[in-house]
Amino acid sequence: MRIAILLFDRFTALDAVGPYEVLSRLHEREVVFVGERKGTVATEVGSLRMEVTATLDEVTDPEVVVVPGGPGQTAHMADGPVHEWLRAVDRTSTWTTSVCTGSLILGAAGLLKGRRATTHWLAMERLPALGARPTTERVVTDGKYVTAAGVSAGIDMALSLAARIAGETVAQGIQLGIEYAPRPPFDAGSPEKAPAEVTAALRSMSRFVLTGEPAA
């Protein structure tokens, strides 16, 4: 089974690494980091770099596609090589997935029309313009399309996907192996639970608010 994780400049690290840590533990799998050009790309912070090991035209038939989000998502909202690749591999993929604002890229490529999908809470209002039906669930499955909410939800998405691919026992073994038993010090992981002033502060600093970033 070939798993293709898309990389691009200014992606969010955990959007890609979270699913990688889970899916790379499946048996008989090959994980490839794919992008427009081989070489390193920087995450949104810039202090971490990851390597694109295969170009888009070298990965034509992955069973699983993972699209991360991050500020670099903005550069991939217009039609181009990434959209063309996504539409091409989606014809034969078993699962097409995203984390955080990666779903906006899938939507802009025309792959989420009429489908339930999620994204980072700050970007949720962008989904309808891309033809998707937004939902606030942490992981959303609609047919072969699996979208995860913000950043850390990529781990949940990947565990859910691992269970569908290899069974719950295998997925539970992976969860135990990575000791994924989150107990955060604060119950502030969603806008409904976080203090109002914290939610307001993050909203005011959102790139969608500051730049007026278009949906497509």
Task: Give me the residue label for tokens 């606030």.
Answer: 136
Of 77, 100, 148, 171, catalytic: 100
100 catalytic? Reply is yes
Active site residue ranges:
100
